[in-house]
C-alpha cells in the first residue's frame, strides 16, 4: 500500500468569521496554520489567501508571496496554490493565474464549470487551456479538481490532446450541493476512469469528510482535510485548528497500518522532482 499524502486546505476564499471564529484570515494566520499541519503530518498545503483588510479572498500575488516565502523558508511542504478565483467577482483569466508566477509546486485546476455557493463557478475551455500552458511554463503540476464525471471526461480529453501530461493527479470533490454526491458508488465510477499511473486524493465536503477519507484510506488514494472543506470536527463541534483534522487522519491511518508520506515521499508518489534544499 502506498504511503498516504495528507493535504491540508487551510482557509478557502468563502468562509468568514461569522461562520467560525477559527478560520485563518491574515497571511500570518494562514502561514502559522499551515506550519502546524506540516508538523502534524501534512505534506501538501492547499493555499488561498485573503485580503487582510476585508477578509475576502484575493488573487493578489503579493499576499500569496507573504504566505509562500515563510513556508518555503521554514518547511519542506509542497505548496498547492488555488487558481479558482473569488466567488462572485468574475476575475479575468490573467487575474486568476497571476500568483502562479511565484512557482508553487502544484496549482489547482477546476476542470469545468458548476453551480457553487449560489452562483456559477466558471472554468471555460479557454481558462483550462491557458492555465495548463502557464503551469507548464512555470513547472507547476496541475491538481485536477473533479466535481462530477464530466470534468473527468474533460481531463481525459485534454490528456489525449497532449495538454495534460502523465502522471496526472486528481482531487475528487464530492458532496457539494450541486455536484457529484459523496457516495462509494460515485467514487468507484470516477476511480474506474483514472488513466494509467494517475494518483488521486479526495475531499468529502462537510459531514462527508470522514466517510470519503475512509474510502481513500482503503483504496490507496490520498486525503484532503481542512477548514476550506469542513468547519466541524464532529457533529455540532467546530474545529478549532486545521491541524486537528490532520492529527485525526494520522491516528486513524496508524491504526489501519498505512504510513504517512513525508513531503519528499509525496513528491516521489506524485512523480515530481525532489526538492533542492535552499538552505
- Contact residues: Zn ion, CB under 5 A: 82
CB-based contact 265:7 (threshold 8 Å):
no
Q: Taking the complex as a whole, how short is the minimal distance between the CB of residue 87 and Zn ion, in angstroms?
A: 11
Report the residue number, 29 or 265, with the smaller CB distance to Zn ion: 29
The nearest distance, CB 36 to Zn ion, in angstroms, is 18
What does residue 237 show for φ and ψ, rounded to 5 degrees?
Answer: -120, 110
CB of 279 to Zn ion, least distance (A): 29
Q: Please, which residue, 187 or 205, has the CB nearer to Zn ion?
A: 205
What minimum distance in Å lies between the beta carbon of 57 and Zn ion?
Answer: 9
Residue at shortest CB range from Zn ion: 82
CB 164, CB 158: distance < 8 Å:
yes
Q: Name residues whose C-beta falls within 8 Å of residue 211's C-beta, 6 or more positions apart in sequence.
A: 182, 204
Q: Cell 494509467 sits at which residue? A: 196
| Cell numbers linked to 144 | 485536477
Shortest gap between Cβ of 12 and Zn ion (angstroms)?
Answer: 5
Judged by beta carbon, residue 75 or residue 82, the one nearer Zn ion is 82
**Which of 59, 52, 46, 57 has the alpha carbon at shortest distance from 14?**
57
In the complex with Zn ion, the residue whose CB is nearer, 38 or 147, is: 147
Task: Identify which of residues 82 and 123 has a Cβ nearer to Zn ion in the complex.
Answer: 82
Where is 136: in which H helix or E strand?
helix 125-138
Least distance CB 107 / Zn ion (angstroms):
10
User: Minimum distance from CB of 218 to Zn ion (Å)?
Assistant: 25
Cβ proximity to Zn ion: between 82 and 154 the closer is: 82
71's grid cell: 513556508
Q: 96 Cβ partners below 8 Å, 6+ apart? A: 59, 83, 84, 85, 127, 131
> Nearer Cβ to Zn ion, position 132 or 176?
176
Q: How far apart are the first and last CA of the chain?
A: 33
Q: How far is CA 253 from CA 7, 41, 220, 232, 246, in A?
A: 14, 11, 11, 20, 11
Amino acid at each position: 500500500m502506498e504511503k498516504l499524502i495528507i493535504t491540508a486546505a487551510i482557509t478557502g476564499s468563502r468562509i468568514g468569521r461569522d461562520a467560525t471564529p477559527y478560520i485563518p484570515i491574515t497571511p500570518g494566520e494562514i502561514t502559522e496554520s499551515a506550519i502546524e499541519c506540516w508538523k502534524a503530518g501534512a505534506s501538501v498545503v492547499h493555499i488561498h489567501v485573503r485580503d487582510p483588510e476585508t477578509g475576502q479572498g484575493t488573487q493578489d500575488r503579493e499576499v500569496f508571496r507573504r504566505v509562500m516565502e515563510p513556508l518555503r523558508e521554514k518547511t519542506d511542504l509542497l505548496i498547492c496554490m488555488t487558481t479558482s478565483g473569488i466567488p462572485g467577482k468574475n476575475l479575468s483569466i490573467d487575474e486568476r493565474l497571476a500568483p502562479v508566477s511565484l512557482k508553487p509546486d502544484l496549482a489547482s485546476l477546476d476542470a469545468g464549470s458548476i453551480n457553487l455557493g449560489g452562483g456559477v463557478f466558471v472554468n471555460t475551455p479557454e481558462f483550462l487551456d491557458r492555465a495548463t500552458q502557464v503551469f507548464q511554463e512555470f513547472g507547476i503540476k496541475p491538481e485536477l479538481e473533479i466535481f462530477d464525471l464530466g470534468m473527468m471526461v474533460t481531463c481525459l480529453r485534454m490528456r489525449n490532446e497532449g495538454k495534460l501530461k502523465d502522471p496526472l493527479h486528481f482531487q475528487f470533490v464530492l458532496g457539494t450541493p450541486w455536484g457529484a454526491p459523496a457516495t462509494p458508488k460515485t467514487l468507484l465510477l470516477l476511480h474506474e476512469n483514472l488513466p494509467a499511473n494517475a494518483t488521486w486524493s479526495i475531499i468529502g465536503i462537510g459531514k462527508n469528510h470522514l466517510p470519503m477519507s475512509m474510502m481513500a484510506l482503503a483504496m490507496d488514494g490520498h486525503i484532503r482535510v481542512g477548514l476550506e472543506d469542513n468547519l466541524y470536527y464532529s457533529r455540532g463541534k467546530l474545529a478549532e485548528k486545521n491541524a486537528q483534522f490532520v492529527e485525526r487522519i494520522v491516528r486513524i491511518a496508524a491504526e489501519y497500518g498505512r504510513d504517512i508520506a513525508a513531503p519528499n515521499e509525496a513528491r516521489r508518489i506524485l512523480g515530481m522532482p525532489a526538492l533542492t534544499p535552499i538552505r
